[in-house]
Amino acid sequence: MSDAIKSKSVPIDPAKVPQRELSTGATMPAVGLGTFGSDHVTAGQVAEAVTGAAAVGYRHFDCASVYGNEPEVGASLQAILRNGIKREELWITSKLWNDKHGENDVIASCRKSLADLRLDYLDLYLIHWPFPNFHPPHCDVTSRSPDARPYIHENYMKTWRKMEELVGLGLVRHIGTSNMTVPKLKLVLRDARIKPAVNEMELHPHFQQPELFKFVLDNGIQPIGYCPIGSPGRPERDRTPEDTTPTEDPVIREIAQRHGINAAEVCIKWAVQRGQTPIPFSVHHYRENLECVTSDPLTGEEMRAIAAIDRNCRLIKGQVFLWKDGQTWEALWDTNGEVTPP
């Protein structure tokens, strides 16, 4: 057996993976496996990826009820724990979906995710989107719900109070936000009893969100970055003509060639060294995505070169959550610096 093949058969030591310290003092692995399989990966394939990822050294798994695969992922987690990995070695996240923001739904939805994932507690539970707007699975981006609502802070805080209650019940260790903006987070930080531990947000070399990134770090909130390589597997319905692909950027490709790795690994190295926690999903390349952050870091010059290729290119625009006819997706993201009014 060649040395290269041998090295691929040896698990990556989880202790070599960088860690993030949260405001509570808890630590979270700085690379996780996302479990959104989009439209082209079955729940069974996602579950197999979770099993394989744990075997090669992953300890952080990012789940959500809306992904439709928590029962299958839960079976994998149960097998992982039976095989000797301790529960306290894992970091498991799930998320509250938009149609469960009601005060009577939050705790029940969390309990459902716990039952599906076969866990007694979650390390992190997020409000997936700040909008309580339902849309059917696989709908087109032009789809609009007649019951769609804007962000109403008083209502969001009612949901947040129930998230805080989950901590008191011992069902979750940390709570956090996702797909938020600076204006919305300012209001939450003002009114929350338990501050968000993390904010999950789209982050990749072509969408670096410097203002929001700095804001969360300045306020003791850890940024978790989805779409860290530009989400090449995202559904066709989520694509627009102006989208760009960071893994095809000449700067990323040149750095990849210099290090003898692929472009996706450059994006993940950059993310971890910048200070965010990427959660790439892959059925086949999850080992490389973890292993790349344990050695051969990017140079300061390379980090600066990537900082210079930000194109402000948001890939996940959230059009289905719009609440008025004639709105553009920018209304969801408070681009004028204030929460978009109803």
Q: What is the set of active-site residues? A: 67
Q: Which of 235, 176, 245, 260 is nearest to 204 (CA)?
A: 245
CB of 315 closer than 8 Å to CB of 227: yes
The two beta strands, 19-21 and 33-34, are unpaired
Distance from C-alpha of 172 to C-alpha of 93, rounded to nearest angstrom = 9
Nearest to 58, CA basis, from 340, 278, 321: 278
Q: Cα separation of 282 and 49, whole Å?
A: 7
Question: CA dist 94 to 5, 97, 136, 207, 260, Å?
Answer: 35, 10, 20, 24, 35
Distance from C-alpha of 107 to C-alpha of 235, rounded to nearest angstrom:
30
Token pair 């691929």 is found at 8
Cα 78 to the chain's mean position, in Å? Answer: 22
* CA distances, 79 to each of 86, 187, 316 (Å): 11, 41, 33
> DSSP letters along 238-277, please?
G--TT---GGG-HHHHHHHHHHTS-HHHHHHHHHHHHT-E
**Cα 7 to Cα 3, 94, 96, distances in angstroms:** 6, 32, 39
